[in-house]
Amino acid sequence: MEKKDMQEQVVINGVEQFRGFAKEGRCASYIPMLAERNPDHLAVSVIGPDGYEVRAGDSEELFTLQSVSKVLTFILACMDKGLPYVLERVDVEPTGDTFNSIIRLESHQPGKPFNPMINAGAITVSSMLTGHSPSEKLTKLLHFLQQITGRALTINEAVFQSEWQTANRNRALAYYLMDSGFLDCPVEEALEVYLKQCAIEVTVTDLAKIGLVIAHDGYHPLLKTQLFSKEVAKMAKALMVTCGMYNASGKFAAFIGLPAKSGVSGAILAAVPSHASLHSPFPTGCGIGIYGPAIDEIGNSVAGVQLLKYLATKWQMTIF
Ligand code: DON
């Protein structure tokens, strides 16, 4: 069997082996539009720096970024405002709490959000993006994503509307942050940016390209261009390892060991640096995109996490 065929077979087998795990989860229902997705879908794409891609499953499906967007706005805010400005307003400590928890904003003065991967931190980061309106901020974000993925991405208006109508918890977080002085723009504007960035639609290939650039410290190997600094990429990877899978980040680091970020849509983005993949078919690093909309109570794709674990084990990929 050709090498490429062998690797393709690995991802095809993985999807078939773990698709059934979807039964142990459910599509997110607190965002009504997400509840309508097919819970049995599972897809994966892996892309190396030469553009070599293997993919399997429902890889043509479009799905929304949800919390995966938090990594991207964090990077963009650092590019716009500089790392010190961002870190003055949001910390880099994991919480062990659920992603939409409000508890630490009051129990730890001065109410600085713990990290950019939880909703409180992400809303703060979205408020910092440069632009005079939500639409200017989002245009910048979409342009940044177009550079990485090579195609124009769009916001799924129905998903946005469905969350905008039901975003009571996020609204509460945003008002609390405004009260303690952490928002750079009015509450409704910060929320609009945050919820629209969550509703940007991608495929697993788009996610894999994003992972590839983060794995290569901000350098886009296909464009041969440095898109953001190594310092910011390092910070993004550290945040993905410590906070990217929410209150399952510890177990994810222990049993999988890759910088990754999940979203309640069932998306998982993983960045595999070269030192973590020396013995894999992608010895100079790769990006991985996974989609499996049935999630567990923490918010991570059930089948997706199993599939990523399988690939990381099979290809001996780990940063540790
Ligand atoms: O703000 C929310 O609740 C969603 N738009 C995103 C949350 C999310 O993806 C958390 N993921 N595991």
The reply to whether 61 sits in an annotated binding site is no
Residue whose structure tokens are 């993004």: 236
Judge residue 182's burial from the number of C-beta atoms within 10 Å of its C-beta, 0-12 exposed, 13-18 middle, 19 or more buried: buried
Whether 2 shows a pLDDT value over 90: the answer reads no
- Catalytic positions are 67, 70, 194, 246, 264
Task: Decide if pLDDT at 218 tops 90.
Answer: yes
The answer, yes or no, to whether residue 4 has pLDDT greater than 80, is no
Copy the structure tokens of residue 178. Answer: 């405004």
Q: Smallest Cα–Cα separation from 154: which of 209, 201, 207?
A: 201
Across 160-184, average pLDDT: 95
The two beta strands, 43-47 and 201-202, are: unpaired
Residue 3 has pLDDT above 80, yes or no: no
CA of 264 to the centre of ligand 1 (A): 5
Q: Establish whether residue 149 lines the binding site of ligand 1, counting it when its CB lies within 6 angstroms of any ligand atom.
A: no
pLDDT score of 193 more than 80: yes
Overall average pLDDT of the 69-80 stretch = 98
- State residue 43's pLDDT score: 98
Q: Distance from the CA of 225 to the center of ligand 1, in angstroms?
A: 31
Is the pLDDT score of 98 beyond 90?
no
The answer on pLDDT for 261 being more than 90 is yes
Mean pLDDT is lowest, of 70-84, 108-122, 202-216, 218-232, for 108-122
Calpha distance 82→20 (Å, rounded): 44
Inform me whether the pLDDT recorded for 308 exceeds 90: yes
- Is pLDDT at 1 greater than 80 in this prediction? no
Q: What is the pLDDT of residues 15-53, one digit of tens each?
A: 999 999 999 999 999 999 999 999 999 999 999 999 999
Provide the pairing of β-strand 43-47 with 53-57: antiparallel
Pocket test for ligand 1, best of 31, 101, 123, 198 (most atoms within 8 A of CB): 198
Tell me what pLDDT residue 102 has: 85
Distance CA 262, CA 66 (A): 8
CATH class of 67-198: alpha beta
246 is in an annotated binding site: yes
The per-residue pLDDT for 95 is 86
Could you tell me if the CB of 163 is within 6 A of ligand 1? yes
pLDDT band at 247 (very low <50, low <70, confident <90, very high): confident
From 223, 204, 225, select the one nearest 270 (Cα to Cα).
204
Instruction: Evaluate: CB of 262 within 6 angstroms of ligand 1.
Output: yes
Work out the percent of the chain whose per-residue pLDDT is above 70.
100
**pLDDT at res. 109:** 86
- Predicted local distance difference test score (pLDDT) of residue 293: 98
Q: Ligand 1 centre from 66 Cα, in Å?
A: 5
pLDDT single digits (tens) 268-306? 999 999 999 999 999 999 999 999 999 999 999 999 999
Q: What is the Cα–Cα distance from 110 to 44, expressed in whole angstroms?
A: 41
Kindly report the average pLDDT of the chain as a whole number. 95
At residue 99, the pLDDT reads 86
How much is the average pLDDT of 180-201? 97
Q: Is the CB of 95 under 6 A from ligand 1?
A: no
Retrieve residue 106's tokens: 């009051």
Q: What is the mean pLDDT of residues 115-126?
A: 96
Q: How confident is the model at residue 101 (pLDDT cuts 50, 70, 90)?
A: confident
For residues 129 and 127, give the distance between their C-alpha atoms in angstroms, rounded to a whole number.
6
| Mean pLDDT within 127-152 | 98
pLDDT at 39: 97
110 or 256: which leads in pLDDT = 256
* Architecture of the domain delimited by 3-63+202-222+229-314: 3-Layer(aba) Sandwich (3.40)
State how far the Cα of 162 lies from the Cα of 157, in Å rounded to an integer.
8
CATH 3.40.710.10 maps onto the chain at 3-63+202-222+229-314, 67-198
Q: At what angle do helices 69-81 and 204-215 cross, to 10 degrees?
A: 40
